[in-house]
Amino acid sequence: MDKLNNIDLKTIYGLVILSGTERLLEYPERREPLQTDFIDQNGTDYYLNKVFFKDKEVLLTCAIMADDDTDFWTYYNAFFSELTAPGSHLLYIDDHTQSYTVYYKKATNFKKSLKRLKNVPKVFVKFDLTLQILTV
């Protein structure tokens, strides 16, 4: 079960991450090292004694499923209140058995539909969530 700040996403927010977690597995891009190009020497001297990495952004496709509109808004407000609270947040991805330090950037492409799942009407809202992954 995926978690945000140790809170189960599915149980508490009715939220599942549908795709995009594979991007979390990509190693961060390396920053350019300090370098000096001396006029009286061939080539460039690179300072490689310390390595630094760039932060990365990830786009997750998510969905919130609720029994009705009232439950949806309860899940929606609780999730975004937690995610947009000040500071960074821990996103635990069960498939990776790994936590990532993140902060909220934006949510887009909301699509709402009333679907029959196992002959029970549910409110199903799909959206894209953009998070900044902090390299620590």
Could you tell me the CATH number of the domain that includes residue 73? 2.40.30
Domain membership of residue 40 (yes or no) is no
Structural domain total, the chain: 1
Q: Which residues 6+ apart lie within 8 Å of 11 measured at CB?
A: 1
Where does the pLDDT of residue 117 fall: very low under 50, low under 70, confident under 90, or very high at 90 and above? low
The model carries a pTM of: 0.84
Is-contact 40 119, C-beta < 8 A? no
**Domain for residue 85, yes or no?**
yes
91 falls within a domain: yes
DSSP 67-103: SSHHHHHHHHHHHHHHHTSSS-EEEEEGGGTEEEEEE
Taking the alpha carbons at both ends of the chain, their separation in whole angstroms is 24
Report which residue type is found at 100. Answer: Y
81 pLDDT band, cuts 50/70/90, is: very high
Q: Is the pLDDT of residue 78 over 70?
A: yes
18 is a domain residue: yes
130 phi, psi to nearest 5 deg = -105, 125
Task: Inform me whether the pLDDT recorded for 36 exceeds 80.
Answer: no
Q: Grade residue 82 by pLDDT with cuts at 50, 70 and 90.
A: very high
Residue 116 has pLDDT above 60, yes or no: no
Give residue 92's domain range.
3-26+51-133
Beta strand 89-93 pairing with 98-117:
antiparallel
Residue 38 resides in a domain: no
Does residue 31 fall inside a structural domain?
A: no
> Quick count: other Cβ atoms within 10 Å of Cβ 50?
8
Whether residue 69 contacts residue 115, with contact meaning beta carbons closer than 8 Å, is answered with: no
Mean confidence (pLDDT) of the chain: 90
Residue 105 is assigned to a structural domain of this protein:
yes
Q: In terms of Cα–Cα distance, which of 84, 86, 87 is closest to 104?
A: 84
Question: Does 15 score more than 60 pLDDT?
Answer: yes
Q: Which of 69, 85, 13, 86 is nearest to 1 (CA)?
A: 13
75 part of a folded domain: yes
